[in-house]
Chains A and B, each alone.
Chain A
Amino acid sequence: MYYLYSVTGLALLISIIIDRKKTLTAIKISYKKFINILPAFLTMLILASIVLFFVPDKMISNYLGNNDKFMGVILASLFGSITLMPGFIAFPLCGILLKKGVGYMVLSAFSTTLMMVGILTYPVEIEYFGVKVTIIRNVISFFIALIVALSIGFFFGELL
C-alpha cells in the first residue's frame, strides 16, 4: 500500500516540476474518469456487501473443509468467483485452511478464481468491455483457474 502512495506522490511531484499545466490536465482527466466510473463502482460495492453477508468467510471455511477434494474444488471455484476479497484477507484465510488440512488444490481453486473471475466486478467491467466480452473473459478465466487447480493438485500429489 505504501509503495503506491510513494510512487504516486513522486510521479506527481516530478510531473509538477516539469510541467505544471500538463499536470493540472492530468488531474482533471483523473477526476473525470473517476467520476464517470463511480456509479459502476458503487454498484459493485453494494453487491459485494450483500454477497459477503450471505457468503461469509466462516461459511467458506466450513464448506471447503468438509468435502471430498473434487467437490471441494468445484465449491471453492464457485465461492472464489462470486466473492470479492482483498488479498490480505484471502491468503491468511487460505493459510488457516491449509493448516486445518484443506488441500492445496482446493485452495488454489479458491484463490485463483478469486483473482481472475469477477462476478462482482461485472458492473465495472461491462462499462469498458461490454457484456459479451466480459462474459467470455470470465468464463475462460474460470476454466484457466480450474486448470491451475488441477496442476497444483498434480504437483502436490493430491490428484491421484
Chain B
Amino acid sequence: MKMQNKHINALAISIYFVFIFSSFMIGFKPGKQIGHNFTFFSIEMLKLLPCAFILIGLFEVWVKKESVEKHLGKNSGAIGYMWVILLAGTTVGGLYVAFPVAYSLFKKGAKLSVIFTYIGASAICRIPMTIFESSFMGIKFSLIRLIVSIPLVILISVLLGNYLEKRNYRIMEGR
C-alpha cells in the first residue's frame, strides 16, 4: 500500500514537471506562471531549510536526552511550556520547519502537550515575524493576537497531548 502510494506520488511529480517544462517550450502562460511560482517557493524554502536542518542535527548530537526530559518531559510542569514558547519565538520559516524540530524534541523525551504547544507557538509567536507584523498592523493588533491565541494554544495542546499520551501516540519520521 505504502509502496503503491510512493509510485503514484512519483508519477504525479513527474507529470507536473513534464507539464511545466512543456509549458515553457510552447509558451503556455498558466503553466509558465505555475513554474515561476514553484521556483519562488523553492528559493524561499532553500534559504531556510539547510540552516534549520543543520541546527536540528546539532541539537540531536549535543543536547542530552536527560535535560530535555527534565525541562520538557512528563514532570516539567508549567515552566516547560514557557521554554518551548521561547524556543518557538526564535523559530524561522513556519510550520514546515517546526515539524522536524517537534520530532527531535519528541525523540529526546519532551511530552506531547509541550510539543503541540511548540507547534502552535511557532506558528503564531515567532519574534521576527511578530515585529514585522506590528510594523504593518500596529502593536495593539499583534498584542491582542498573542494574548488571545497563546492561552488557547496551550489549553488545546494540553488536552490533545494528554489524550494522545494515553493512547501511546508517537510522532514519526516518514510514516
Interface residues of A (CB under 8 A from B): 1, 3-5, 7-8, 11-12, 15, 22-23, 25-31, 33-34, 36-37, 39, 41-46, 48-50, 52-53, 84, 86-88, 91-92, 94-95, 98, 104, 107-108, 111-112, 115-116, 118, 121, 124-130, 133, 136-137, 140-141, 144-145, 147-148, 151-152, 155-156
CB under 8 Å from chain A, chain B span 94-118 = 94-96, 99-100, 102-103, 116
Least CB distance, B17 to chain A, in whole angstroms: 9
Top-7 shortest CB links A-B: A30-B57, A95-B136, A49-B37, A49-B38, A26-B57, A26-B61, A8-B51
15 contacts between A and B (CB under 8 A): A5-B51, A7-B55, A8-B51, A15-B58, A15-B62, A36-B173, A43-B13, A45-B38, A45-B45, A49-B41, A87-B129, A125-B99, A128-B99, A128-B175, A151-B148
1/0 contact trace for B1-14 toward A, CB 8 Å?
A: 00000000100010
Of residues 1 through 32 on chain B, the ones whose CB sits less than 8 Å from some CB of chain A are 9, 13, 16, 30
The residue on A at minimum CB distance from B55 is A8
The interface residues of chain B, by DSSP majority, are classed as helix
Q: How far is the CA of A151 from the CA of B9 in the complex (A)?
A: 41
Q: How far is the CA of A151 from the CA of B37 in the complex (A)?
A: 34
Contact in complex: A33, B37 (CB < 8 Å): no
Q: Which secondary structure dominates where chain A touches chain B? A: helix
A28 to chain B minimum Cβ distance, whole angstroms, is 8
User: Which B residues from 127 to 175 make CB contacts under 8 A with A?
Assistant: 128-129, 132-133, 135-137, 140-141, 144-145, 148-149, 152-153, 156, 160, 164, 169, 171-175
| B residues whose Cβ falls under 8 Å from a Cβ of A | 9, 13, 16, 30, 33-35, 37-38, 40-42, 44-45, 47-58, 60-62, 92, 94-96, 99-100, 102-103, 116, 119-120, 123-124, 128-129, 132-133, 135-137, 140-141, 144-145, 148-149, 152-153, 156, 160, 164, 169, 171-175
Contact between chains at B13 and A42 (CB < 8 Å): yes
Q: Taking the nearest CB of chain B, how far is it from the CB of A90, in angstroms?
A: 9
What's the nearest-Cβ distance from chain A to residue B29, in Å?
Answer: 10
A140-B137 CB under 8 A given contacts A1-B47, A53-B33: no
Beyond A34-B49, A46-B38, A49-B37, whether A141 also contacts B120 by CB under 8 A is yes
Closest to B112 in A: A133
Shortest distance between the CB of B93 and any CB in chain A (Å): 8
Given contact pairs A116-B149, A137-B116, A140-B160, enumerate 14 new A-B contacts (beta carbons under 8 Å): A7-B51, A29-B56, A30-B57, A33-B100, A37-B173, A49-B34, A52-B41, A86-B44, A91-B132, A94-B136, A95-B136, A108-B145, A147-B152, A151-B144
